Chains A and B, each alone.
Chain A
Amino acid sequence: MKLDTDKEPILRVEKVSKAFGGIQALNGVSFEVHKGEILGIIGPNGSGKTTVVNCITGFIKKTSGRVFFRGRDISNKPPHKIADMGVTRTFQIMRPYFTLPAYKNLVIPLFSPRAKRTGGWRGGGRLGDRNTVSLDILEEIGFERDSYVPYKTASTLPTGYLKRLELARCLALKPEIIICDEVFSGLSMSEIASMVPLIERLQMEGITLIMIEHRLRELFRVANRIMMLNFGEKLTEGTSEEVMADERVKEAYFGSQKVEEVMRHA
């Protein structure tokens, strides 16, 4: 897929830093995302991946730095305003409304002002009956409509469906960007295999995706670009091949020979 990188990026993150007390979780991270691309963010545990998501979507206050969406500064906006502009996210720890049926879970985001304006994922500016719209979205994302699955209570759904439900919650807003916090983790191989085409389809429809992942093999397949974080700093950025070839990436994930030697002598 050809990307026009000369244009203004849809999302620009400028030198974002975040400190929790004395711990520097993010240290001057900058990157850009262009419309329609999939950016993968990788990094070992504790490297600040989720913190980046939280900073962009306004769930935590940045210590410093700025975020621009379509050239507009969204650094100090509250989370619901940012979501209202079309920058949505999923959560790493899924917490659907467990006591409600799956389709009722979607009725809630459909109540939001943005959903009313856009009419949901497929809506042409007008929102129909929320239950119907919610079933439509669920059907497209892989909840078989004529089965009982969309009517099951969320607490009884398997992980694969819950991940889809998280995505559906974003899609209900007809988003411009979806930031996926580990949608592949905890899924079986076959579930991932069916999730990958879904991600590709979302990209085809013009939704920009930022994917935070530990499942590198699948991520490298779908992502246009990969950014690597380590200890809260951007280590490297490039295409899948470039990042895979980078020695520092291996070092960060598997530890370097040198470090092991030092450890042995100590």
Chain B
Amino acid sequence: MDILIYGTINSVTLALYAIGFAMVYGVSRLPNFAHGALYVVSGFITWSFLNSLGLNYLLSIILALIATAIIGALIYQFVLIRVRGMEISEIIASYAIGLAILEGFRWGGFKGLTYTLPAFIEGSVEIAGVSVDYQRLLVVGIGAAVVGLLWLFTRYTRIGLAMRGMAQDERAALMLGIDSDLIAVVAMGFGSMLAGLAAVLLLPLGNIVVEAGYNILILAIAVCIVGGLGSWMGAVLAAFLIGFAQILTVVYLGAHYQMVVALLAIILTLILRPSGLFGQQKELEERV
């Protein structure tokens, strides 16, 4: 039973990590390797609003999300747009930015137990004999809500539809009068905001540490690769696959293997089925 509950929680967590990455890649084919850094940035901004400026918790969260979105959009507008289309340069540039941010934090002495966010609601509840705190339940609830809203957003709003159009065929989208650069910036902003959202939801469960930035990047990549790069729903399904696999290994093999599972998932998926378990690109690639 606890495997089921913790597996679900872990899966939703992974989905939250990955969905921003999947969104940015899906819309603009940009592997955003600064994703983990944006996660940490958002946590840090929330923390500073809360503790240094003494703002209300909810207000500081909203402000931090907006700030993260703006930072993401700025990174795109001033750096990544110039290497657009050159995948390797995109990876190197975005990774370098992420590295600069994270190592900058590390240099600034950003470690230790002081940097924690309070839980939204304290306390815990017992479900089928397993004690689960409210924050984790909230994570699952909000995670499900985010996935649902995103689904609605991409189907019933102009920007969402434009994003889907661009994801399918950028040139066709351009000809239909969609400003692809603008949409890509918006998508990057949204993706960053989703990274930020994951941060404010999940950080109350632990400390804000620099290493989280790297781990989250790897987990996000793992989920997206297994689900098929560019496929959002695939990413959500893959999150459940990896989430449960991780919990099972932790229970039966030990906590050390948690990260090994994610890395192994990436390597095996890429070797056996590069388009991911739920992706459809392989058939297209095969056409000469």
Contacts and interface: CB of A to CB of B under 8 A. Distances in A.
A and B touch in the complex (CB under 8 A): yes
Closest 6 CB pairs of A and B: A20-B283, A60-B286, A21-B283, A59-B288, A54-B288, A20-B287
A91 B288 CA distance: 9
B222 to A, nearest CB: 26
Interface in A74-129: 91
A60 B286 CA distance: 6
A160 B273 CA distance: 39
B89 interface: no
The B interface, classified by DSSP as helix, strand, loop or mixed, is: loop
A20 B288 CA distance: 12
A224 interface: no
A59 B285 CA distance: 11
Contacts of B287: 20, 60
A185 interface: no
Interface string B277-288: 000100100111
B280 A21 contact: yes
Contacts of B286: 20, 60-61
Contact of B288 (A21, A50, A61): A50
A23 to B, nearest CB: 9
A150 to B, nearest CB: 28
A24 to B, nearest CB: 13
Interface residues of B, number: 5
Interface in A130-156: none
Interface of B: 280, 283, 286-288
Contacts of A20: 283, 286-287
A20 B283 CA distance: 6
Contacts, number: 13
Nearest to A23: B283
Nearest to A60: B286
B280 to A, nearest CB: 7
A156 B288 CA distance: 24
Contacts of A59: 288
A50 B287 CA distance: 10
B79 to A, nearest CB: 28
A20 B286 CA distance: 9
A47 to B, nearest CB: 15
Interface string A42-67: 00000000100010000111000000
A151 B283 CA distance: 39
A60 B288 contact: yes
A59 B288 CA distance: 8
A59 B287 CA distance: 9
Contacts of B288: 50, 54, 59-60, 91
Contacts of B280: 21
Given A59-B288, A61-B286, 11 more contacts: A20-B283, A20-B286, A20-B287, A21-B280, A21-B283, A50-B288, A54-B288, A60-B286, A60-B287, A60-B288, A91-B288
Interface string A1-32: 00000000000000000001100000000000
B231 to A, nearest CB: 14
B274 to A, nearest CB: 15
